[in-house]
């Protein structure tokens, strides 16, 4: 499979170079109409399936949802000369084929007859593609030390393409990358050179000296004073920034390189070597500096924050998404609602198997921090159940497919077990879709449609699954087991996930 994928990528790259100076013509546009018949819909929001529906896809958008949509009709699709879709309008029905009218600028109109592809859903569940709210596609070594000491940019970049394809084949059609990667992989995917989800990158982590973003050794010179001295620093994956001016420079650098939002480390961590998890790493003034840059670019700041003091300081100074947020309580819930903020949390922090994570088990210091943290975070689940914040899913996996598949599947299971399938399915779909759209029309790479919902006008990012995920979370991969789970290696998706569609293109079909 990897050789075939490499061949496809090489061919696509050659084709792109040959066509780079050729104007887009009507014949190059992906004229397609796909009709899902007889499906039950989880729309990303409702607590019950919408039964017995048909869903019509025209190009890359959900065009119509209704009962008994005819299997043929006539459609007009307007496009710009650059090939960007602008508007889709339903017109009259005709027998046997759909007619698509393609307008190329103001020059000419080309009509094409396109046969509808009819997919009989057989009463299965059609639902939004899953959305990762906090992942790390390019943080893909076997450990942080492995990334820092033994990985060149070629290793990390190529391995990120493997992670991206694996993510899509696991049902994740969109992905907010929470640090460690600029927009190169996103561009390659959007150009069709490699396969993967839509990506909303954050650029390099931004944190102060000695924080959760500091990958140095004890004897390595300070990067704020002397410039990048680490592998991840030189590659722009992590940016040490002390004080307002350095934070602004780092944030602007990330924006220049294509970030859709800014990621800061305003709290300590468990597996980082210099900081206690209780660390309140950034002052109010420093947080406002990052927010000021984000505001200037019409986007927002996401912040790694564990302690209540750090969480509240972030919310009071303009941060829109709290990452992890383990000390969430009623006061935080009230503030989140007041400022319109969200939270994403990695549920493996509450797994009985947490101590088996190699970064924790191999380090006595991290093991002590993990034990202290679990005690401090013991009310998190109770408080989320009580206050029901806008919670998004995150896996926060650092590694490669087999390990990340097990971690992600386990977290899906844990979230559904703690909070109920409906609440956690929303976290995996519509809530994370809202979080992605916080980047606004200026920075959003995909501003033309909604994500994480099944509704007319939304992007056609869809899964067709056996069974009802509102009742059985295992149909989208949820697994009670973690380290003792049967390995699901690269390219091996979820058997009950029968169709995976992203942007109107079917990437898996096992019907």
For the chain, what percent of residues have pLDDT higher than 90?
67
Task: Please tell me the predicted confidence (pLDDT) of residue 19.
Answer: 35
Lookup: tokens for 309: 């003091």
Could you give the CA distance from residue 186 to residue 445 in angstroms, rounded to a whole number?
Answer: 9
Which of 136-150, 201-215, 240-254, 484-498 tops mean pLDDT?
240-254
Its sign, for the CA torsion 423, 424, 429, 430, is positive
Could you give the CA distance from residue 454 to residue 65 in angstroms, rounded to a whole number?
Answer: 9
| DSSP helix, strand, coil percent of the chain (3-state; round to 5) | 35, 25, 40
pLDDT tens by residue, 100-135: 554 545 444 455 566 789 999 999 999 999 999 999
Q: For the sheet containing 130-135, what is the strand order?
A: 130-135, 172-177, 198-201
Q: Does pLDDT of 200 surpass 90?
A: yes
pLDDT tens by residue, 202-248: 999 999 987 787 777 777 878 887 788 888 888 899 999 999 999 99
Q: Are the C-beta atoms of 175 and 446 separated by less than 8 Å?
A: no
Task: Please tell me the predicted confidence (pLDDT) of residue 75.
Answer: 56
**pTM, entire model:** 0.88
SS3 state at 498: strand
Lowest mean pLDDT among 14-28, 295-309, 362-376: 14-28
Q: Does pLDDT of 16 surpass 80?
A: no
Task: Please tell me the predicted confidence (pLDDT) of residue 73.
Answer: 63
Mean pLDDT of 447-456: 97
Spatial CA neighbour of 204 closest among 183, 175, 188, 225: 183
Could you give the CA distance from residue 459 to residue 62 in angstroms, rounded to a whole number?
Answer: 6
Give the pairing type, strands 391-393 and 117-120.
Answer: unpaired
Mean pLDDT of 330-357: 94
Could you give the CA distance from residue 377 to residue 381 in angstroms, rounded to a whole number?
Answer: 9
The conformation of residue 420, written as its DSSP 8-state character, comes to -
Residue 141: pLDDT band with limits 50, 70, 90: confident
Q: Which domains does the chain have, with CATH numbers?
A: 10-123 (no CATH), 130-462 (3.20.20.140)
Which is higher by pLDDT, 363 or 253? 253
pLDDT tens by residue, 421-444: 999 999 999 999 999 999 999 999
Task: Please tell me the predicted confidence (pLDDT) of residue 112.
Answer: 57
SS3 state at 198: strand
Q: Please, which residues have CB within 8 angstroms of residue 139's CB and are 6 or more apart in sequence?
A: 147, 179, 180, 181, 237, 398, 399
Question: How many residues belong to the chain?
Answer: 511
Lowest mean pLDDT among 317-321, 355-359, 469-473, 495-499: 355-359
Q: Does pLDDT of 25 surpass 60?
A: no
pLDDT tens by residue, 66-76: 999 988 765 55
Q: Please, which residues have CB within 8 angstroms of residue 140's CB and are 6 or more apart in sequence?
A: 147, 156, 159, 160, 162, 163, 398, 399, 400
**Other CB atoms closer than 10 Å to residue 434's CB: what's the count?**
18
| Sequential DSSP letters for 201-234 | E-BSEEE-TTSTT----TTSPPHHHH---SHHHH
Residue 30: pLDDT band with limits 50, 70, 90: low
Could you give the CA distance from residue 173 to residue 394 in angstroms, rounded to a whole number?
Answer: 14
Q: Does pLDDT of 297 surpass 60?
A: yes
What string of H, E and C letters represents the secondary structure of 49-104? CEEEEEEEEECCEEEEEECCCCCCCEEEEEECCCCCEEEEEECCCCCCCEEEEEEE
Could you give the CA distance from residue 335 to residue 384 in angstroms, rounded to a whole number?
Answer: 14
Mean pLDDT of 162-183: 97
Q: Does pLDDT of 250 surpass 90?
A: yes
Which residues are bridge partners to 87 per DSSP?
Answer: 78
Task: Please tell me the predicted confidence (pLDDT) of residue 282.
Answer: 96
């Amino acid at each position: 499979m990897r050789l075939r994928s490499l061949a496809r990528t090489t061919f696509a790259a050659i084709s792109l170079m040959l066509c780079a100076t050729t104007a887009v013509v009507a014949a190059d546009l992906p004229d397609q109409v796909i009709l899902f018949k007889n499906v039950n819909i989880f729309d990303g929001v409702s607590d019950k399936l919408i039964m017995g529906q048909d869903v019509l896809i025209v190009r890359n958008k959900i065009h119509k949802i209704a009962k008994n949509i005819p299997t043929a009709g006539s459609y007009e699709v307007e496009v710009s000369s650059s090939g960007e879709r602008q508007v889709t309008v339903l017109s009259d029905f005709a027998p046997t084929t759909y007619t698509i009218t393609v307008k190329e600028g103001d020059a000419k109109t080309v009509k094409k007859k396109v046969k509808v592809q009819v997919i009989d859903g057989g009463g299965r569940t059609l639902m939004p593609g899953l959305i990762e709210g906090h992942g790390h596609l390019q943080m893909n070594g076997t450990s942080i030390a492995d990334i820092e000491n033994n990985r060149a940019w070629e290793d990390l970049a190529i391995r990120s393409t493997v992670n991206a394809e694996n993510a899509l084949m696991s049902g994740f059609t969109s992905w907010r990358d929470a640090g460690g990667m600029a927009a190169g992989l996103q561009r390659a995917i959007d150009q069709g050179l490699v396969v993967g989800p839509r990506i909303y990158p954050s650029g390099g982590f931004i944190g102060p000296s000695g924080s959760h973003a500091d990958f140095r050794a004890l004897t390595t010179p300070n990067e704020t004073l002397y410039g990048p001295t680490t592998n991840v620093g030189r590659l722009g994956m992590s940016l040490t920034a002390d004080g307002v001016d350095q934070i602004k420079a780092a944030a602007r650098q990330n924006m220049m390189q294509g970030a859709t939002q800014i990621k800061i480390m305003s709290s300590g961590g468990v597996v980082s070597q210099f900081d206690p998890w209780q660390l309140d790493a950034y002052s109010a003034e420093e947080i406002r500096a990052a927010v000021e840059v984000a505001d200037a670019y019409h986007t927002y700041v996401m912040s790694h924050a564990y302690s209540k003091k750090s969480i509240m300081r972030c919310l009071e100074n303009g941060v829109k998404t709290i990452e992890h947020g383990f000390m969430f309580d009623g006061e935080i819930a009230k503030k989140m609602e007041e400022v319109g903020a969200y939270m994403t949390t990695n549920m493996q922090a509450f797994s009985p198997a947490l101590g088996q994570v190699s970064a924790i088990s191999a380090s006595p210091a991290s093991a002590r921090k993990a034990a202290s943290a679990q005690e401090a975070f013991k009310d998190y689940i109770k408080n989320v159940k009580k206050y029901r914040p806008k919670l998004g899913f995150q896996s926060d996996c650092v590694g490669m497919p087999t390990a990340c598949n097990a971690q992600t599947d386990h977290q899906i299971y844990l979230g559904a077990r703690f909070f109920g399938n409906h609440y956690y399915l929303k976290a995996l779909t519509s809530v994370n879709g809202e979080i992605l759209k916080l980047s606004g029309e200026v920075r959003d790479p995909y501003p033309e449609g909604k994500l994480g919902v099944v509704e007319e006008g939304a992007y056609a990012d869809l899964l067709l699954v056996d069974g009802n995920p509102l009742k059985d979370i295992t149909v989208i991969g949820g697994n009670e087991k973690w380290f003792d789970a049967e390995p699901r290696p690269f390219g091996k998706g979820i058997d009950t996930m029968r169709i995976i569609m992203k942007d109107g293109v079917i990437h898996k079909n096992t019907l």
